[in-house]
Each structure stands twice: as C-alpha cells, then as structure tokens.
Structure 1
Amino acid sequence: MHTNHVAILTPDPADGTYTDAWPCVLERIVAALAVVGVTTTPTPWTAHVDDCAQLMDFPLVLPLLVWGYHLDHARWLRACQAWQDAGVPMANPAAVLASNSDKHYLRALHERGIAIPPTTWTGRVTAQQLEAAFDATGAEQLIVKPTVSGGAWKTQRVRRGEVPDSAPDGDAMIQPYLPTIETEGETSLLFFGGRLSHVVNKRPAAGDFRIQVQHGGLYTLLPTPPAGALALAEQTLAAIDASLLYARIDVVPDADGRWLLMEAELIEPDFYLDHDPNAGTGFAQAVRETLAARD
C-alpha cells in the first residue's frame, strides 16, 4: 500500500450515539491530510479486534474516531492488546490507548506531580463518600463520574444531601465542582508532534456544567494560551513520557487561579479543527513526519 495512505479508525457501526457528529469531524481530518498528500481509509475499530491483519497493510493507523469505546471497554482493551502484540503501526501507541481509556491515569499523573482537582477514587459510590467529599473539600457541589467514560457519559453534578440519579455501577471518581468552569471555562491545548497548534476555550451553556458541544457548550479560539495553562500542559506531556502524535490537554483554573488538569485526551479527542486558524496543518505535518520516520 502507498506509504502516504493511512487508516482512520471509526465508531462501531452498531453504535448510533454519535452518527450526527463524527462524519463531520472525519471530513475535517481527511481534508487536512489531503493537503499534504496523505490519503485515508476509514474503518470501524470493532472490525479489527480479534483479527488485525488488515491494519498491518497500512504504514500508520490513527484511532481518531473510536468514539464510544467506553461503552464496551473490555472489547476496547482486548483490541489494544491485540494491536500492541501484532505491532500495528498505531499512533498514538496501543499501550497509551489502553491506559488513557481509564481515568485512573489521572491518579498516576498526580503521583508524578501534576495538579488535578481533589479526587476520591472508589469502586462504588456511597452516600457516606459523598458527604466525606463535601466535608473535605468545602465544595457546594460535587461531580461524580465513572472512571471509564466519554462525552460526559453518566457524569452528574450533586449537591449535599442528594444522591446521583444513576450512580456509576463500578469504579468512579468524585471531585468538587469548580464554579470557574462557568466563569473562566475549560481551556484545551492541542499538541501535534509535540508542538502547540491552537487553544480553544469551552464554556457550558447557562445552567449546565457540561462543556461538550452536544450539551450546548460554547467554544472560542484563544489567540494565545494562558501562561499557567501552557505550563501545566507541558508539564503533563513530560510526565506522560510517551511518543505522542497528538494530545489534547484540558485544564481549568480553581478559585485561587491555580491551573488543574481535567483530562489528557490521547485516544480520540476532537481536535476542534473548525476553530484551528490553520485548519489542521499542524496535525497533517505531524502525520507526514511520522510516516517519513517509518520509511
């Protein structure tokens, strides 16, 4: 196969959750790659779990649209292991795709000195844990979410005395709700080939706490990143210590202005190329460099 022809993994065809969104994101990625002479073949990730031989025909496989993997996490982990064992030329690496799919990676980063919100890790959310978290943090509201999630899936905001409508069945995390998400927003820094490409600020719709566009989130391009946000993002990438083609680092300031890591998205982040002044040129160039290094 042509050395500039790559595979892009897409959602499970049986999952209709994101059918209105991911084709548009794919179109932007394909267009950016075409500018630098890279052609693409979209293929569902679920078609390559138990037999990934077809992926070995490509010089590079990009798992950029495996949206919904969290809905079948066991199969996702099995796929990542199969890709790693077979040596599929995956970027980001299959081992990173596996570890980044469980938000316990945030605990590991915190142990390496990365600032995150105070977090209670639990195998089952209880009313006692919620009360303890309120007492420990002094927060007026808490965020409860599964450690394996995506797009705010099963993520809830609770007040003291409330019990989540549907608490996560298994491993979960409890964090104080940061009101700065409404006043300052969440800042996403996009890195391609280790280089900062662009920065997008995301704020929830009035009355909501979720910043995802499907929940009404409002996105704005920032001409330059806040200094503290960039410093934390670079510190995070250094702590991850892996060869990354792409990364989206999501950070929020607390009430004292200290920047905290919310997510290091290394699997299938939306790159917000519709807000990128260069329309994905930085990403496309990083892909070309990766392909050239593998020739």
Structure 2
Amino acid sequence: MTTIGFLACETTLPGAGERRGDAFEHDLMIRAIEPAFVAADLDLRIIDWEAELAAFDGVDLVMLGTAWNYQDKHDAFLTKLDALAERGIAVCNCPEIVRWNATKTYLRDLAEAGAQTIPTLWREEVTAKGALEAMETFDCDRIVVKRQVGAGALGQELLSRGSLPDRDWTFGHPAMLQPFLPAIAEEGELSFIFIGGELSHALLKRPADGDYRIQSLYGGRESVHQPSPEEAAAASTILASIPFETPLYARIDMLRDTDGTLLVMEAEMIEPYLYPEQGPELGERLARAIAERV
C-alpha cells in the first residue's frame, strides 16, 4: 500500500492544544479526501510537519496540507522539506516550488511572463510617509499592505488617505503595497482549484459586511462558481506561467479590475485550502493525480 503523509501543524491538528479559528477547514479536507484515498489503496497519515524525521518512515509522498504556521518558521519549514526529499519522499508541492512561492515577489516573475497582476510596490519597510507616497503613485485613496512572506491575510493592513497611522508607525515586515480594488467587496474574489494541472472547481469568496478579507477567520463566505470559458482560460494561463513542473495542486486567486480584466492576486501552491465543500470530487481527483506520481 502507498502511504501519503498529510502535513499539518500544531494549531490545525485536533487534540494538539488550542486550535486556530479556521482549523475546521483541516477537518473538512481530511473528511473529503480520506474515503477517496482508501478506495484508491492510499494510506493517509496525518503528521505535524515539525515531527522528527522518524515519523515519516514508510511515507511515499507528502502533501503540504494545513502547515499553516510555515510563514513564521520559514527556514525550518524549507529545511524539513529538503530533508524529506533527500529521504526519497515525493514532496508535493516540491521544495523548489515552495521556495519560489513562499515570498510574494513571485508575482513579479508572473508579471514578467505576461500575467495580468495588481500594480504593486515592493518595500523592505513601510512607514506612514511611504504609505502616502504609494497612494500618490497609484492615484488612489486606499492601499493594502501585505507581508511578502505571509498567508491568510495575517498582519495585513488597509490604509486610507484620510486616516493614516501615526508618523512613527512602521509595518514591521518586508511588504507589498497595492491599491485597494473595490471588486473585493462588490463581486468578491474568484478562486480556481487545479489538481494535476486540470481545473477541478471554482468558487466565489466574499467578505463579511464591512470587511474586505475573504478568509473564514474574518467571516468570509464561499459559494460555488461556474466559470466562463474566458475565466477558466485566464486562470489556466496563470498556472502555465509558473516556471516549474505542473504542481500536484494549486489555487489561483483572481480579482476583477475596474475594466473587467481578471488580475491574479495569488498563485497558492504551498499549503492552500482547496475548498472541498465546493468541489465534491476533490478527493477522487487528488487520489488519481497522486497515483500518477508514486
């Protein structure tokens, strides 16, 4: 039997202590994929990625499932993935992809390859003065400041021209600054889930009233989206721009510009939540794609 390791972390694993507010998504993923894996003769083993290497004995392939604290332990995470690969374990997605994808500057590579991206300024530090300068550059009244190494909108700031932070404020991390696009609150964010390079399902993610963040931690809600051929093609083009072999799984997040153009927000290939509730065939698709890799 082939053994598949699903990498989680201390705050997503049941019974490991206080869990994250979105840890229920880990439970939904496991419930979605476990029956399909059993049917495909794949033994699913859920492992804390920080466990000793001995915990991975007998594992043939690891999925970077809900390792949602990696951004705060970036170097240790990459070191562990390298160690697993050196033991002959297939790492999905591979360490090379993770290194590239872990820092949001990968979006510059996608833009250079022709992808339509949100205008972005890259800064090692952001001050109140720098935020105002970004608004002037983008000719807008609101900007979003994100960590270059981050996930789940943690630490993210929405700043407006009329309520800038104090003069001595600093963001505290290498950052990316982008104009706030009203589509996030009006239409929502479109996510396209790819398994083995093929589109599995799509969904529309909307923020809670009065917010702009679409993650469940902040009250975001999701619904099934039937993509048009043009939307599916736009997402597929982003996936094709990635300078690596086809990943086992990827989530392409896109937002519509004021002229209707779909812009890529993220190409999540490390440990993206794959929204099994909106993709009832996710488990079977993953099982088939994994069988082709082991």
TM-score, structure 1 normalization: 0.89
Corresponding residue for residue 213 of structure 1: 216
Shift of 1:74: 2.6
1:111 aligns with 2:112: yes
Tell me the distance in 2 between the aligned counterparts of 1:212 and 1:273: 15
Matches within 5 A, 1:230-241: 230-241=232-243
1:181 aligns with 2:179: no
Matches within 5 A, 1:265-284: 265-284=268-287
Tell me the distance in 1 between the aligned counterparts of 2:164 and 2:217: 25
Corresponding residue for residue 11 of structure 1: 9
1:36 aligns with 2:40: yes
Shift of 1:201: 0.7
The count of aligned residue pairs is 285
Matches within 5 A, 1:155-234: 155-163=156-164, 167-223=170-226, 225-234=227-236
SS at match of 1:129: helix
SS at match of 2:93: coil
SS at match of 2:264: strand
CA offset digits 1:120-167 (Å, max 9, x no partner): 100000223211221122222110111111111001111014345975
SS at match of 2:27: helix
Matches within 5 A, 1:73-88: 73-88=74-89
CA offset digits 1:5-27 (Å, max 9, x no partner): 21111113577435444233222
Shift of 1:218: 1.7
Unaligned runs of 5+ in 2: 11-15
CA contact (8 A) 1:56 1:88 kept: no
Tell me the distance in 1 between the aligned counterparts of 2:80 and 2:282: 31
Shift of 1:279: 4.7
SS at match of 2:67: coil
Residues 20 and 199 of structure 1, relative CA distance in 2, 3 Å threshold: closer
CA contact (8 A) 1:156 1:164 kept: no
Shift of 1:249: 0.5
SS at match of 1:97: helix
CA contact (8 A) 1:26 1:65 kept: no
Tell me the distance in 2 between the aligned counterparts of 1:227 and 1:31: 31
Tell me the distance in 1 between the aligned counterparts of 2:277 and 2:156: 26
SS at match of 1:95: helix
Shift of 1:69: 1.0
Shift of 1:173: 0.6
Shift of 1:238: 1.5
Shift of 1:230: 2.0
1:93 aligns with 2:94: yes
Tell me the distance in 1 between the aligned counterparts of 2:165 and 2:284: 43
Unaligned runs of 5+ in 1: none
CA RMSD for the aligned pairs?
2.1
Aligned with 1:45 (options 27, 43, 49): 49
SS at match of 1:130: helix
Tell me the distance in 2 between the aligned counterparts of 1:146 and 1:202: 21
CA contact (8 A) 2:81 2:91 kept: no
Tell me the distance in 2 between the aligned counterparts of 1:226 and 1:164: 41
SS at match of 2:91: coil
CA contact (8 A) 1:80 1:97 kept: no
Residues 87 and 186 of structure 1, relative CA distance in 2, 3 Å threshold: same
Give the counterpart letter for 1:121 in structure 2.
W
CA contact (8 A) 1:229 1:251 kept: no
Tell me the distance in 2 between the aligned counterparts of 1:183 and 1:134: 21
Tell me the distance in 2 between the aligned counterparts of 1:54 and 1:198: 33
Residues 218 and 19 of structure 1, relative CA distance in 2, 3 Å threshold: closer
Give the counterpart letter for 2:40 in structure 1.
V
Corresponding residue for residue 13 of structure 2: none
Identity of aligned residues (%): 34
1:245 aligns with 2:248: yes
